[in-house]
A and B are shown apart, each in its own frame.
Chain A
Amino acid sequence: MANVTLTINGVQVTVPAGTSLLDAATGAGFFIPTLCHDPANPGYGGCRICVVEVKGARALVASCATEAANGMVVETESPAVQEARKTIIELLLANHPTDCLTCEKNGDCRLQDYAYRYGIRKSGFEGERHSYPIDNSNPYITRDLNKCVLCARCVRTCAQVDDRQVLDFAYRGFNTKVAPAMDTSLGESDCVSCGRCVAVCPVGALTFTSLTGKGRTYEFRKETVTCSFCEAGCKFDLNYKGGKVIAVTPNAPGEGRPLCLKGRLGMELRYVDKPVTPMLKKDDKYVEVSWPEALGLEDVLARIKELGE
């Protein structure tokens, strides 16, 4: 593939044609913040925090969704870019509970990092804030829409799984929110709790219930393991605290395949020192079940038992 050469912050950079400005700039060592950018799902261009200034362009462009072109002159931290980024962070914070003290995501939150980086102590805007009830109807995923920045990473990653597409946008304007069909709770939806949405959430809107109250993000040591329940090879994180595995959390789906509940539960059974009782959805309600049932191995176990006899 042909290469293109462009200038980023005065530095000549050569990248393969088709590379996004974001990849070109980060590859050259420049920092660009991103909220909605998902490397597995690029080109969304929604959060606008990654905007950069391209000489001659009518307005700032989203670097994640703009291809590098020959001769482009790009500034990643010009005054207009900084003003836009700071304003966008302020706008997000104006409708975001700043309860970082107790937030599960503290220390691993993009919004927190960027507010720190751009020196936004508090939002200059006062006005209406959302106050959605916290959705903990799903035993594995806690959903706090008050913290959602509507980056749609959860929506897009869920849409990659055939027959799922549990999440999408609902309503318009300021009232836009991510919701399952008919704006029900996650527990009532078709969600199978694979957790890929949680894995991509850049803020504290989606968190693993299994980790709630178990420790701060920086207290955990993560070790990535590959699930061996099928050939897809999805990645999971073992969360160590004080030498003990306290939870297994999904990290990334295998090539073109979904993370699945079976893998997650199986990994938990295998690695967690004190696994919780698994739950399965029956008649739209989660009920505690045995591990063989949760893993769909009841028949197999029964057959083995039968053969043994």
Chain B
Amino acid sequence: MNNLNELRAKCKEIYEKKLSRPRVVVGLGTCGIASGGDRVMKAIQEEVAAKGLDVDVDFTSCIGMCYAEPMVEVAIPGMPSVVYGNIFPEKVPQLLESHVVNKKPVYEWAYIQIPGDATPLEGIDVMEKAPYYEKQVRSVTARLGRTNPESIEEYIATGGYEAFEKCLSMERQAIIDEIKKSGLRGRGGGGFPTGNKWQFVYNAQGDKKYAVCNADEGDPGAFMDRSILEGDPHAVLEGMMIAGLAIGADEGCIYCRAEYPLAIRRLNLAIAQAEKYGILGDNILGSNFSFRIRIKAGAGAFVCGEETALLNSIEGQRGMPRVRPPFPANKGLWGKPTCLNNVETYANVPNIIRNGADWFAQMGTEKSKGSKVFCLTGKINKTGLAEVPMGITLREIIFNIAGGIQGGKKFKAVQSGGPSGGCIPSEHLDTPIDYESLAAIGSIMGSGGLVVMDETTCMVDVAKFFLNFTQLESCGKCTPCREGTKRMLELLQKICDGKGELKDIDTLERLARVIKNSALCGLGQTCPNPILTTLRYFRSEYEAHIVDKRCPAGVCAALLVYVIDAEKCTGCGACLRACPAGAITGEKKQPHSIDVAKCIKCGACITKCKFDAIKKA
């Protein structure tokens, strides 16, 4: 076999046969399973068997609307396929009865429809025009929620491995030039031009080279890489193979955190399938290119997402960063030239080769090309995965795609880039998303997590949260990060406890400056960002904690005072009886009051009050 034509024809046949049959497809990404998707799957299988329905039951990965999981798609040939959300086992019989048996979609449960060649249904948003997808592009995420991620046949039938096949007949330098021309930059957060990195590895001297994939996604609130690995594992493999071909590597390694068992399982399956078809292995398709990929499961250290710590971890050493230079491109895994890219970066490669660098470069801004996958989490209405063109504003992502803030509350800040990023306030909501613009406002692009906060969030508390995270995850190698994050955390705790002094802000700023300037690796150098940005944009909140001993957002327990509104209090005595500290006094049917000195701020009185008369202030 010297090309994939025969295999591709066979795969297309299999895929088209599947599409020509009525199907019920359950979303079984981790989000779907966590919401009960596997129970829904079981319920559907039982119902289909019990009623003897002529319908195939299939599964897919996360389509992006995690907030609506478990999601079930019903596709009847000749009709638009409808994706339903919040389908729990008890809804299954009605759904199948109505849509599969009687061909009548259940409109109130439907989220989107994908008409295909059929006439769209009235009353259900067509996917591309639905509020959630209108501003999105689907390039890296194109197969997510649409194909079965455990089927290599479907991957090949939908254009998979075409790019790799094309590369086999290209000059190695030409592949690198194409990636350079596309303007693709590292999607793990650093934003280093991918083509240049490949060039360095290509130029590096060495008889052995490696292509390594960083799938150690660790930022709180980030799950892009997991979704891609679970939804389109072959795209990552193909991207790595193209990289391997271009740089001259014959071995690849995916460093995936062990907390992603489903991703690891699907990757292992994908590797086995590709090996079975001779797409991975020795002398692939009769060429002189051989490539093998193995998976290394990470043991759960955040710092192993840092490239040199990751390499140490693969080598079986403690995950601690190495001094750079030498960079991995020259001295990486086992001391050999290594091309290290993130999951999403590799997943972009096949599309770039297949559609051309110009196609990719026409998306995005001048310096940041293409699309980026973001994870929308926090106090927003629609939690999920969204792929947007670079240059879109934060406002569009938060208010158009994510549907704004929960409960109609006011937006306060959005944290991009996890613990290495910064809190961006509302005045910067119209900042276009690209590497440079985000850096200019003190944050970073990061891997793509967006944690949205509303007015009930205390920014000092947020800074404390992230510092607690980095402090625990510091590897301990360099002094500024190991000792400095601990002291910064202690200062933040002191401020939240109402014991802060104004000089603590200066100390925090000095520590942040020194750590940023002198820490060994990216984790240390960026860990002060949450403090620096909250100090830059929300300094008054710090001062309120320190000077007025007040937490404006009402979060920091030590700074809250419980008071009874005399106008609303009926003197029923419920709070008095509930108070474990004996802090509440008052005559029957007279407004009660709380002795601040005795109050332990447990909140028991608030839960007992029927008249909404007790307030935290």
Contacts and interface: CB of A to CB of B under 8 A. Distances in A.
Interface of A: 43-49, 51, 59-60, 62, 65, 67, 80, 83-84, 87-88, 91-92, 94-95, 124-125, 127-128, 149-150, 152, 168-169, 171-176
B323 A174 contact: no
A48 B483 contact: no
Nearest to B320: A169
A287 to B, nearest CB: 34
Given A59-B525, A127-B490, A128-B486, A171 B517 contact: no
B610 interface: no
A171 B474 CA distance: 10
B475 interface: yes
Contacts, number: 106
Contacts of A91: 479-480, 483-484, 487
B78 interface: no
Interface string B74-88: 000000000000000
A48 B485 CA distance: 15
B430 to A, nearest CB: 28
Contacts of B325: 67
A87 B510 contact: yes
A59 B388 CA distance: 32
Given A48-B480, A172-B474, A88 B323 contact: no
A304 B189 CA distance: 72
A45 B482 CA distance: 14
A48 to B, nearest CB: 5
Contacts of A83: 510, 513-514
Contacts of B517: 51, 59-60, 80, 84
26 contacts: A46-B478, A47-B479, A59-B517, A60-B517, A67-B325, A83-B514, A87-B480, A88-B518, A91-B479, A91-B483, A91-B484, A92-B483, A124-B507, A125-B487, A125-B490, A127-B487, A128-B486, A150-B479, A150-B482, A169-B320, A169-B476, A169-B477, A172-B475, A173-B471, A174-B474, A176-B482
A49 B483 CA distance: 13
Contacts of B38: none
Contacts of A125: 487, 490, 507
Contacts of B490: 125, 127-128
B578 interface: no
Contacts of B320: 169
Contact of B472 (A47, A48, A150, A172): A172
Interface residues of B, number: 33
B301 interface: yes
A300 B330 CA distance: 53
A46 B520 contact: yes
A87 B511 contact: yes
B318 A168 contact: yes
Contacts of A43: 323
B96 to A, nearest CB: 50
Contact of B478 (A47, A94, A127, A128): A47
Contacts of B482: 150, 173-174, 176
B473 interface: yes
A43 B516 CA distance: 21
A102 B485 CA distance: 30
Nearest to A96: B483
Contacts of B510: 83, 87
Contact of A172 (B476, B480, B519, B525): B476
Contacts of A65: 323
Given A45-B520, A150-B482, A171 B476 contact: yes
B518 A60 contact: yes
A61 to B, nearest CB: 9
A147 to B, nearest CB: 14
Interface in B560-586: none
A171 B476 CA distance: 8
Give the interface centre of B490, B510, B516, B517 by most chain A CB atoms within 10 Å. Answer: B517
Given A45-B323, A62-B520, A173-B486, 10 more contacts: A46-B520, A48-B519, A67-B325, A87-B484, A88-B480, A92-B479, A95-B483, A169-B476, A172-B301, A174-B474
A60 B515 CA distance: 10
B514 A94 contact: no
A173 B474 contact: yes
Nearest to A150: B476
A48 B323 CA distance: 11
Given A150-B476, A169-B318, A51 B518 contact: yes
A256 to B, nearest CB: 20
A46 B487 contact: no
Interface in B496-528: 507, 510-511, 513-514, 516-520, 525
Given A62-B520, A168-B318, A172-B472, A84 B514 contact: yes
B331 to A, nearest CB: 12
B479 A49 contact: yes
B312 to A, nearest CB: 12
Contacts of B516: 59
A46 B477 CA distance: 5
A47 B485 CA distance: 15
B475 A84 contact: no
B508 to A, nearest CB: 11
A59 B513 CA distance: 10
A176 B476 contact: yes
A94 B485 CA distance: 13
B306 to A, nearest CB: 14
A62 B324 CA distance: 10
Contacts of A45: 323, 478, 520
Nearest to B477: A46
Contacts of A51: 517-518
Contacts of B475: 172-173, 176
Interface in B276-321: 301, 318, 320
A45 B308 CA distance: 13
Contacts of B471: 173-174
A143 B570 CA distance: 67
Contacts of A150: 476-477, 479, 482
Contact of A84 (B472, B476, B487, B518): B518
Nearest to B474: A173
Contacts of B480: 48, 84, 87-88, 91
Contacts of A127: 486-487, 490
A51 B524 CA distance: 15
Contacts of B472: 172-173
B62 to A, nearest CB: 31
Contacts of A152: 477
A244 B425 CA distance: 72
Contacts of A62: 323, 520
A80 B320 CA distance: 26
